[in-house]
Structure 1
Amino acid sequence: MKLSVFILFILATYAEDIPDPLSDEFIEHINKLNLSWKAGRNFHKSVKFSDVKRLLGVLPGKPSIQLKTVYPSKVDKNTTVPVSFDSRKKWSNCESIRTIRDQANCGACWAFASVEAMSDRLCIASNQTKQISVSAEDLLACCGMKCGKGCNGGFIAQAWMYWNTDGIVTGGNYERYDGCVAYSIAPCEHNKTGIYKNCTYIAETPQCKRQCDDITLNYTSQKTYGHKPYTIIGYEKDIQLEIMTNGPVAATLEVYSDLFSYKSGVYRKSNYSKFVGLHAGKIIGWGVEKNVSYWLIANSWNEDWGTNGFFKIVRGEDHCGIESTVVAGLPDFRNNNTDSGNGSFAPDPTSSVFLIILLTIQFLFYSLTM
């Protein structure tokens, strides 16, 4: 009993000695540890750690849908894996791969990581001809309880299954109206003093409206779809083969308090950090830096965070569980009336205007042949 009390006292004393994870003192201490990465200020001094924790939007526990490990026939397991790979270079004409989105003050990382990878795969599957941005808002708002709790968290497996069963319309970042449904939650100042308000509260989940921002676009015809999703669990080479064959994947990882201050290098959690929650990101490649193998991941906390919105994490050790929950799926062009190049879809063939035009053409053709 006395020993237990002593241990608790030591732990409590240690906890008290650890400064706020967003403080300059914490950042300075991390950099003194001579790790494989460097820390720096990513959040304004007025932002509280309790606020940034809400950005971690993957719910704990197992999702109700358990995906099977199924490898598409296109993946050749005899393929030699290169030392380094970057999807931005392999598919350089796919703008979505290099785009960093901003989830703002909503725990929607599960939705963002998923739609970002879906957008990339639509472009890749079309031989880089279709620049389509899949809407995070449509997934976040309309998947509902199937995916989780909206801005209060969700699961990437359910997101990909929803793409297969219900479809997700086009749409990009806040006030980007080049698709069907743009993200409606305004950016907030994660990182610096600027024109936006600080991220000091969690946003409410947007309402599902099933209507495009531009009323001339048909919501149904703007749907994108995927085939039945699958997971790649635990095997480094399998994840690499999947990415280099079909494109970026969505992954869940454990987040420790020092990751919020990541700036450069290959991240490995320090003994100075504590577990905070679960997050989702998009793995776009891998490499080796100063003899440390890493995964290259796109985050969704805007381009001011980390290295222009990206970060590297230790590869091959399932560090922070990064290799345990990797989800992907292949695009299904069942709604194949896409207008490549502008991120939007052509008019719905079932719309009244289209039918009138079609009937008029048929009538004229019939009249000329009489």
Structure 2
Amino acid sequence: MKYLLLLATAALSASAIPNLKKFLDPDELIDMVNNKRSTWTAGTNFDADSLPKLQFTGVLKNPNRTLLVKEHKTGRNLIPDFFDARDYWPECSKISEIRDQASCGSCWAFGAVEAMSDRICIHSNATKQVSVSAEDLMSCCGLTCGLGCYGGFPDSAWDYWLKSGIVTGGLYGTNDGCKPYSIAPCAHFNKFSSEPACDTEVITPMCVSTCDVPTLTYNNELTFGETVYYIHSDQDQIKMEIMINGPVEAAFNVYEDFLYYKSGVYQNVGGELLGGHAVKLLGWGVYNGTDYWLVANSYGVEWGDNGYFKILRGVNHVGIESDVVAGLPKL
């Protein structure tokens, strides 16, 4: 355990707290992207004063990768050119939900619970529609999953769902499930926002085995995975997994220009490497001749394209296809 803590701490110092550095000038970076006439357009997503105070990344390198790799043997001939899980399973409303990790490096937990929530609905034929709690996962998994608000391991998050279970819980300020997210969205976007100022000293919430909603019982609200696995880093394998079983969690390397994404198909143009980030992949397609993955981010609905972005597909750009993990729910 001590070895794991030291390893995680070393990884943390390298990638989970990129905001100790000075960011490039936002206007200069936006102009650089747009002047290059790339496949995407940059714009303002964050108030410049809040940039050094936010945790944009939170994926640590796991020294104990233990999940098996799942491979689909057949089905490539059935893959369509375009796929959007929101349209394919319209009865599962959580697929369209964009969450906000606030100023906490909990993306590793958000990408996991978002896909878990979607898959519970999909595999129950929409008879069970719940939000799996990011709060419960990041606070109760402990060092097995990483360091909470200071980064974690996406694959360990899924393994925890399999072995220990995660209760229900939705967005901040709601009564959705047992343990809704307790960290308030901060004023990332506008210095004149009514939301509280962003804080670099966000503390991972304590693990408690009670529900915030008095009428709910913790043990009764637990959800579990039946099986969890990595997905082979091949775009057709990832497509088939999404098409058959639902959205997946993916991790990739975030460069500074990504923070300014507004539309189009993202590919790195410039800026420094900030660290690893986890997201939810829910589809694919082609935009102006460029292949893309459709992705839900966890920076809130004011970021990017209403909380979503497209990213270059098929060449493992910034590692988006090399660390994909998912599982099936126990119903």
TM-score of the superposed pair, with normalisation by structure 1: 0.81
Alignment of 1:261-276 (within 5 A): 261-270=260-269, 272-276=270-274
The structural deviation recorded for 1:22 is 5.3
Q: Secondary structure at the match of 1:228?
A: strand
Following superposition of structure 1 onto structure 2, how do residues 71-220 of structure 1 map, counting pairs within 5 Å? 71=71, 76-192=74-190, 193-220=192-219
Q: CA deviation at 1:129?
A: 2.4
d(CA) in 2 for partners of 1:151, 1:291: 38
Counterpart of 1:295 in 2: which secondary structure? strand
Farther off after superposition, 20-29 or 303-312: 20-29
Say yes or no: does 1:51 pair with 2:53.
yes
**Structure 2 counterpart of 1:358:** none
Q: How far does residue 141 in structure 1 lie from its aligned partner after superposition? A: 0.5
Equivalent pair of 1:77/1:238 in contact (CA under 8 Å) = no
* C-alpha RMSD over aligned residues: 1.5
1:36 aligns with 2:35: no
Computing the radius of gyration from Cα coordinates, the structure with the larger value is 1
115-124 vs 183-192, greater mean Cα deviation:
183-192
**Residues 1:69 and 2:72 are matched in the alignment:** no
Counterparts of residues 249-328 of structure 1 (less than 5 Å): 249-270=248-269, 272-328=270-326
- The structural deviation recorded for 1:306 is 0.4
What is the alpha-carbon distance in structure 2 between the residues aligned to residue 228 and residue 126 of structure 1?
A: 15
Instruction: State the distance in 1 between where 2:314 and 2:46 align.
Output: 30
Residues 71 and 230 of structure 1 are in contact (CA less than 8 Å); yes or no, is this contact kept in structure 2?
no
Q: Which residue of 1 aligns with 2:6?
A: none
Match of 2:30 among 5, 18, 27: 27
Whether the aligned pair in 2 keeps the contact of 1:63 and 1:157 (CA below 8 Å) is no
Aligned residue number for residue 222 of structure 1: 221
Superposed displacement of residue 76, structure 1: 4.3
- Aligned to 2:110, the other structure's residue is in SS state helix
Checking the alignment, whether the CA contact within 8 Å between 1:283 and 1:295 is kept in structure 2 is yes
**Within 2, Cα distance between the matches of 1:202 and 1:287?**
39
SS in 2 for 1:260: helix
> How far apart are the structure 2 equivalents of 1:256 and 1:78?
32
CA shift digits 1:233-261 (9 cap, x unpaired)? 31100000000000000000001110000
1:258–1:237 distance in 2 versus 1, CA, 3 Å: same
Instruction: Give the C-alpha shift of residue 276 in structure 1.
Output: 1.2
Q: Distance in 2 between matches of 1:76 and 1:223?
A: 34
Offset from partner CA, 1:26-58 (integer Å, 9 cap, x none): 21121101000000000013223x333x22000
CA–CA distance in 1 between the matches of 2:76 and 2:307? 33
Q: Give the aligned residue type for 2:322.
A: S
- Residues in 2 aligned to 1:63 and 1:125: alpha-carbon distance in whole angstroms: 32
Aligned counterparts of 2:94 and 2:324: Cα–Cα separation in 1: 19
CA contact (8 A) 1:110 1:156 kept: yes
Whether contact under 8 Å (1:68, 1:230) holds in the other structure is yes
Q: Which moved more, 1:294-303 or 1:128-137?
A: 128-137
Paired residues, what number?
309
Letter in 2 for 1:37: W
Question: Does the CA-based 8 Å contact 1:190-1:301 persist in structure 2?
Answer: no
User: Residues of 2 paired with 1:94 and 1:21: CA distance?
Assistant: 40
Report the residue type matching 1:108 in the other structure. S
Q: Is the contact between residue 285 and residue 291 of structure 2 (CA under 8 Å) also seen in structure 1?
A: yes
Native 8 Å contact 1:107 1:202 kept in 2 = no
Equivalent position amino acid for 1:35 in 2: S
Structure 1 SS opposite 2:48: coil
Gaps of 5+ in 2: 1-21
3-state SS of 1:216 partner: coil
Deviation of 1:199 (Å): 2.0
- Which stretches in structure 1 are left out of the alignment for 5+ residues? 1-18, 334-370
Question: Aligned in 2, Cα 1:63/1:133: closer, same or farther, shift over 3 Å?
Answer: farther
